[in-house]
Chain A
């Protein structure tokens, strides 16, 4: 039996060592990668200076064309991430401050995402490789139930979020396989059009007070960032467009742009505009809040 216990102790040691080695290896790989997604890019850059930064979900990622702003003399980047919620947007902003970014204006999408205070598990996972390196990330997630496991058990975070930061993503990072996430200053155009278009149904949606949004407001105030919270367009056949009318009853400061683009030809799906729609919409937003600094 003694022999068996020694065997088990040996096995557990091998297991622990394997976990530590894998953890170190994965973390080093992710730390050296800045071309896979906007979070890795953000984590691996410092001291960026922006006139305008966009934050939000796919309704930012696919809707704002930084080139239109850049051409008018505003240094702009689209940090919108498909599937992210306001909780992740708040962390993105906090990370930008931690990485010493200087931001003058933040355009934040606040529309469908104030239907919930929930987070996005898929996007949360992308922050996990940096949890040991960033105090901001640690503080942001300190209250979540798995925090201690994620922080203290070697390799646990890569197992827990294996579909996003597991072997497959690590390997792609290791061989420097680029994605298109950072092309066009972060704007990802949708080129296919769903026809017939299926109407989005917002009948179960109602705006609520959102902790992350309120946190973003505080951060912006503290760091003298001009926060422009806006809604973004949805197709006219959306069920319960009245949802947008209720937004201002919760947050009156939110600028309404859901009707800025209305024609179906500008929509890829009911909730997402195509490239032409994004260009039209970005022009509308630019003209509403900015003036050209230089002529194109």
Chain B
């Protein structure tokens, strides 16, 4: 059941009505309704994986209680590592086993040993990376005494499997979400209205921007051998907007949906393509994952304390793991590495926190420099996206090589019976809309909101891609 499906359009109002009219009397009822809805939502993909979700929830729940109960550090450590190992074990088996088996076989073959790896014929449980990280953050926070363990199993289960965030985040923190689940939620019209606006804007991003860009990006990436430089550049730009529209659109729908139930989720995107350097980009892109890695990996590794080499090492580890988190493929690892290489100079020169403040543009040299920096950051981000999107590293390298050597910048008619440049006006309107509303959660609220709602609806209906249905990219992670 995808957020942009008819099924979800029926499911959401039903849950909403039950939640506010049947379960409204107590927090317990509200949570029961949400947990039932969440399990139903998850089972729509594959009900068998529901057991995995429940097991993972139970494991984290019991481990946390055991950690808290333990008298000795040794025992606390034991429960922590048991829980982490089992969680990562599941993730490893379902997500990474085939990748490692294949890679080791290839390595052995390169030394002349002929091996045929035993591959598992399993499908990846949807959302496993997200709910595993949910659970891990909780258990680590308990271990470090940042929070108390949750004794109410229903409340804890809801924290892990709350349907708006279950399959593609944002990766919540117990400190942020659990307190909200411990109280009875009261209906707030303004919040619900904001949620609806956010859902509509999320749909625009997904159906109009991401799916339209996907039509062009897929054609260009799949046929890069016959594309000219202009097409290849546009292909990378289209993919950049595809993945942004897709994932931030999903996040907007998740956050908006959650607001309908009176629950706030963590913001996941903050206009990343308006970043002035790569450090700022990573503070604005997939924020819940970036901060997760910062808090649970980077800082425990020593963070930015210690020598420069330590900082560089930690940065590399963070980006490598981040790339690997996205999927079991060398292309994701390369993407992580490239981002690390972009980041290192800023770190070495102590400039990684230069662009933290908000900025305004006017007609002066400083604004010109800001715009240039935004453009440069976007360009290098697009180059890295090529590795993320390409099927193999070799394809990515050939793609980039052709982009810089073909040197033909003419219009090109693609196999989808469209010209390569056709999306520029749509993207320009989108960029300007995002730019104008970059201080807000979504661009609809405020003056003339009904006119904006109508325009968004017209855009979804008229410009959306419906015949060539595309899943949310991040569901596969």
Contact = CB atoms under 8 A, between A and B. Distances in A.
Given A4-B193, A18-B457, A167 B463 contact: yes
B461 A22 contact: yes
Interface residues of A, number: 22
Contact of B465 (A7, A14, A15, A162): A162
B403 to A, nearest CB: 26
Contacts of B193: 4, 7
B contact face: mostly helix, strand, loop, or mixed: helix
Given A1-B187, A19-B461, A168-B418, A7 B196 contact: yes
Nearest to A121: B467
A238 B196 CA distance: 58
A159 B196 contact: no
A271 interface: no
Given A22-B462, A166-B462, A4 B457 contact: no
10 contacts: A1-B189, A7-B193, A7-B196, A11-B453, A14-B453, A14-B457, A18-B461, A160-B466, A162-B466, A163-B467
Contacts of A4: 187, 189, 192-193
Contact of A155 (B189, B192, B453, B461): B461
Nearest to A171: B462
A78 to B, nearest CB: 21
A287 interface: no
Contacts of B454: 14, 18
Interface string B183-218: 000010100110010000000000000000000000
A168 B414 CA distance: 15
Interface string B452-473: 0110011001111111100000
A19 to B, nearest CB: 6
A1 B20 contact: yes
Interface string A138-174: 0000000000000000010011111100111000000
B450 interface: yes
A158 B462 CA distance: 8
4 closest pairs, A vs B, by CB? A159-B466, A18-B457, A167-B462, A3-B189
Nearest to B455: A18
Contact of A11 (B187, B196, B458, B462): B196
Nearest to B215: A163
A252 to B, nearest CB: 39
B262 to A, nearest CB: 12
B70 to A, nearest CB: 47
Nearest to A161: B467
A14 B468 CA distance: 26
Contacts of A19: 461
B458 A18 contact: yes
Contacts of B468: 163
B467 A22 contact: no
Contacts of A18: 454, 457-458, 461
Interface string A7-35: 11011001100110010000000000000
